Structure 1
Amino acid sequence: MEAKGKFLHETRIAVRWGDLDFYGHVNNTIYFRYFEQARVEWIERMGYRVGPDVPTGAVIINADCTFYAPVNYPATVIVRMYGGEPGRSSAMTWYELYVEGEDRLYADGAAKVVWMDTATGKSVALPDTLREALS
């Protein structure tokens, strides 16, 4: 994973039975949901609503995840979110995923977040409060 930016948020998420794949591990797609949950919580904590009826909001234009060890049920995952230096309308975010009670890094990932006008689908400047939090 690229060097982490500034720590922004941490969340705990209970692993659900439905998160598992055929092999009894958390399905690889679910890790992106865990990262998304951390990102949405942080955006909402910063005072912005997330939903289809907001005038502007965050979209992801690129995301990746590296899996180091499988997460099994039952467990609670801890996701730590970091942010990079903001551009005009975007910023990089990084994620670390742990299992509660363990020091081992189970996965890490990244996502480039772009702030956009939801009516036009075009990028707009990051709100000042998000820019300040990322700087």
Structure 2
Amino acid sequence: MIENKVTEKKLVYTVTIPIRWGDMDAMGHVNNTVYFRYMEQARIEWLSMMGCLPDEKGNGPVIVNAYCTFKKPLKYPGQVEVCTYIGAAGRSSFETIQEMRSVGDGYALYAEGGAKVVWVSAETGKSEVLPEAIKQKLSEIKVAKRRPRAVKV
């Protein structure tokens, strides 16, 4: 089990994604692989907005691990809000942390996960120092307050 040891996280992006009928499995809830797609969609949208996509040489962000803890099953119909946070940037990487909340259930937490993003050289396939422009953008992001946990009434 991968534990999230990030103590300070910064909210960087929030997106609401519709749950599709085809996202469900034979058990009648969203298949576990789809949670990773929700996180991927939110992460890619945010990376794209930041300009953190592969450069002209093909060097760019690669996911070296990903994890998800399932709290409650999401079901169709509905919408899931994916909040993307980042932890502190390292030499060649940074952590993304994500929360998935049900829009129709008072934004109750249904799953949480994340991924380690590493900047990789297309030529060598090995990690390299994050570009200065990316480091600068990451450092300029302020710590946001966490969304309060929903309370069922």
Structure-1-length-normalised TM-score: 0.89
Q: Write the distance in 2 (CA, Å) between the matches of 1:48 and 1:58.
A: 7
Deviations 1:3-45 (A, max 9, x none): 4511111111111111111011000111111111111001100
Q: Gapped runs of 5+ residues in structure 2?
A: 140-153
From 28, 33, 57, the counterpart of 1:29 = 33
SS at match of 2:99: strand
SS at match of 1:38: helix
* Greater Cα shift, 103-112 or 119-128: 119-128
Q: Tell me how large the CA RMSD over aligned residues is.
A: 2.0
Instruction: Work out whether 1:13 is the aligned partner of 2:17.
Output: yes
Instruction: Work out whether 1:96 is the aligned partner of 2:81.
Output: no
Deviations 1:87-126 (A, max 9, x none): 1110111000011142210000121110112232111221
From 56, 77, 82, the counterpart of 1:74 = 77
Shift in Å, 1:50: 5.8
Q: Write the distance in 1 (CA, Å) between the matches of 2:100 and 2:9.
A: 16
Q: Gapped runs of 5+ residues in structure 1?
A: none
> Identity of aligned pairs, percent?
48
Bigger-Rg structure (1/2): 2
Contact 1:7–1:80, Cα closer than 8 Å, also in 2: yes
Query: Residue type of the partner of 1:132?
Result: Q
Match of 1:86 in 2: 89
Distance change >3 Å, CA 12–CA 103, structure 1 → 2: closer
Contact 2:53–2:61, Cα closer than 8 Å, also in 1: no
Q: Write the distance in 2 (CA, Å) between the matches of 1:23 and 1:4.
A: 36
SS at match of 2:39: helix
Contact 1:46–1:129, Cα closer than 8 Å, also in 2: no
